[in-house]
Amino acid sequence: MKTTKRKFSLGVKIASILSCVAVLSVGFASWLIVNVPTETNDTIGSFEVYEVVDNSVTLSYDWGADGAADKDGEGNYTDDATTAAKIIFGKPASGSATNSWLTAGADVQNEQLVSKVKVTVGNYANLTDFTVTLAAPTAYTDLGNKVATPAVRYLNAAGTADADTDGDGKLSKTELDADGVKGTVVVELVFGWGAYFTQGGDIVNPFFFYNNQTYSAALAADASATLGAIRTALNGQTYSVTFACN
C-alpha cells in the first residue's frame, strides 16, 4: 500500500510539472480589442489654377486714314489700300503759272505724294517701340535730285500733331500711350519732287517750274527729258513698308 501511494504522489507531481510547462509555453491569454475606424473624407488639398492671358501685340491698318469699314472682320482695314497707297507724280490740283506752254493731258492725274495709313497697335504696353520703315526701289533713288528722299512721319490719331515727340524716327511705349495717341497713330509715307524743281526757294510741281519760265527749245527739251526719265524709272514700280514691333 505504501508503494502505491508513492507512485501516485509521483504521478501527481509529474502532472503538475507538465501543467506548468504548458502554461509557460502558451503564455497568458489576452483580450484583443480591434476597433476599425469609420471611413472619413477630409478636405485637405487644394488647386491653384492660373488664367491664360493673350497679350499678343496686334496691328490693324486703315489705309487712307479715313475710317474705312473692316469688311473681313479680321481687324485689317485693307479695302482701300490699292488707291490710298499709290503715289502719283502728276499735275498740281490747283494753281496757275505765268505761261502755259507745258500742259497735262486728260489722262494725267493730280499729284498724290503722301500716303496715309492709320495703325492701331493692340497691347502696345508690351512693346519697347514701334517703327515704320519705308523703302523705295533702286530706280527711285537713281533719279537723284529729281525726286525727294522718302520720309516717314508719325502723327497722333487725329493726324493733327506730331507723335514722335523726341524725333528719333520711332514711337516709344510712352509716345504710344500719349494723349491723342493711345495706341493709334497716323503714319504718313512722304514722297516728293526733288530739289531739281526748286523755284523761288521752294520745290514746286514741274508744271509751275517750267511754265513760270519763258518757253525755249532748250527748256522744252529739258522738260521732256526730265519728266520722261521720271516716268520711265517709276511707272509700275512699287515701294515697301515694314511695320516693326520691338
Give residue 46's pLDDT.
86
**173-229 per-position pLDDT tens digit:** 999 999 999 999 999 999 999 999 999 999 999 999 999 999 999 999 999 999 999
| 67 — pLDDT class (breaks 50, 70, 90) | confident
Question: How many Cα atoms are found within 13 Å in the side-chain-facing hemisphere of 149?
Answer: 1
Give residue 11's pLDDT.
52
* Per-residue burial over 161-176, b = 16 or more CB atoms within 10 Å of its CB, e = otherwise: eebbeeeeebbbeebb
Give the residue with greater pLDDT, 203 vs 68.
203
Give residue 8's pLDDT.
47
Q: Could you tell me the pTM of the whole model?
A: 0.77
What is the pLDDT averaged over residues 115-127?
94
| 75 — pLDDT class (breaks 50, 70, 90) | low
Mean residue pLDDT across the chain: 87
164 pLDDT exceeds 90? yes
What is the pLDDT averaged over residues 45-63?
88
17 pLDDT exceeds 60? no
Least confident of 52-56, 130-134, 135-139, 242-246: 52-56
100 pLDDT exceeds 90? yes
Give the residue with greater pLDDT, 224 vs 34.
224
What is the pLDDT averaged over residues 87-110?
96
Give the residue with greater pLDDT, 3 vs 51.
51
